[in-house]
Amino acid sequence: MPLVVMCGFPCSGKSRRTQELKEYILKNTDRKVHVVGDETVGIEQNSVYADSQKEKNLRGELRADVERKVNKDDVVILDSLNYIKGYRYELFCLIKHAQTPHCLIYCLTTPDDSSAWNNNRACEKQYTQQILDALVMRFEAPDSRNRWDSPLFTIQKDDTLPFEAISDAIFHKKAPPPNQSTQSQPLSSSNFLYELDKVTQDVVTAVLNAQKTSVPGDLIAVPEASEKIELTRSLNMAELRKLRRQFISYTKMHPTENIGKIANMFVQYLNKSIH
């Protein structure tokens, strides 16, 4: 069901907080808890975090593991650094698609505290000081004003986890609404594919006709769309056909629930593609 994203410097107490939250949920609910993190995939952190490609692969592996485990009943806790804003946004998109709530727990420590805790670890689990300093420097702190970082619980080293507030956020709040492009629409719908083909062809025809009397910078109105195409340059038939085929292929895999939005979606796609 919900996803709990841990976030913080290396050695900031994320795993300890993960265990505390897991124990609370198991004791007070009938839900299972799945923990996904650096330790569950068995990495050597100094090797991985010293190599940007290895680190990117790790994030992809963790994200895929979260996606496999997220379901309507269980709680998934992602116990990793999660220090990159763009990656947290990817996780937010994942839970929007799964239509499940989430929250973020930020274990706030000073670099000195994290360094001291790191030195108290077993040697094989320690970060080198160079790697730890680099990760602290690259850290992008969460901001509750960002929808992908909210609800946000900031926990300092001596704080007690606000278990009830966290439970309320993940068990009783509504999931964020999915994007219109990721909502499910059965392809067996009697007129979905017909409308997709017809509307996109009408838009292409309208663009070609409008270009006969338009110049770059003009806004082109197209049938059934409230949004307009921003004509930044001339578009030929071959390019428009290619963009139409790409849009149709994508939309077949991610059908919209509202057929009336196809035209606006295609206009948005064209505007992004031709700039």
Q: Is the pTM of this model over 0.75?
A: no
pLDDT tens-place string over residues 36-50:
999 888 889 999 999
pLDDT at 179: 53
The number of CA neighbours under 13 Å toward the Cβ of 237 is: 3
Q: Per-residue confidence at 260, pLDDT binned at 50, 70, 90?
A: confident
pLDDT digit string (tens) for 62-81? 998 998 898 878 999 999 99
* pLDDT score, position 175: 78
> Beta strands of the chain (E only): which ranges?
3-8, 33-37, 75-79, 102-108, 152-156, 219-220, 229-230
DSSP summary character for residue 211 = T
User: How many alpha carbons fall within 13 Å on the CB side of residue 246?
Assistant: 11
Chain mean pLDDT for the chain: 88
Angle subtended by helix axes 52-69 and 85-98, to nearest 10? 20
Q: Report pLDDT for 178.
A: 62
* pLDDT at res. 42: 81
Judge whether residue 82 has pLDDT over 90: yes
pLDDT in tens, 208-252: 988 888 888 888 888 888 888 888 888 888 889 889 988 888 887
What are the E-state strand segments in 113-171?
152-156
Report pLDDT for 161. 96
Average pLDDT over residues 148-177: 92
pLDDT exceeds 80 at position 258: no
Q: Is the pLDDT of residue 186 over 70?
A: no
**Mean pLDDT of all residues in 48-62:** 92
For 147-174, what is the mean pLDDT? 93
Task: Read off the pLDDT of each residue in 194-211 and give the average, rounded to a whole number.
Answer: 88
pLDDT-based confidence at residue 191 (cuts at 50, 70, 90): low
Q: What is the mean pLDDT of residues 108-122?
A: 96
- Mean pLDDT for 16-23 is 97
Residues 59, 40: contact at Cβ < 8 Å?
Answer: no
Classified as helix, coil or strand, 84 is: coil
The model's pLDDT over 158-170, given as tens digits with 9 standing for 90+, comes to 999 999 999 999 9
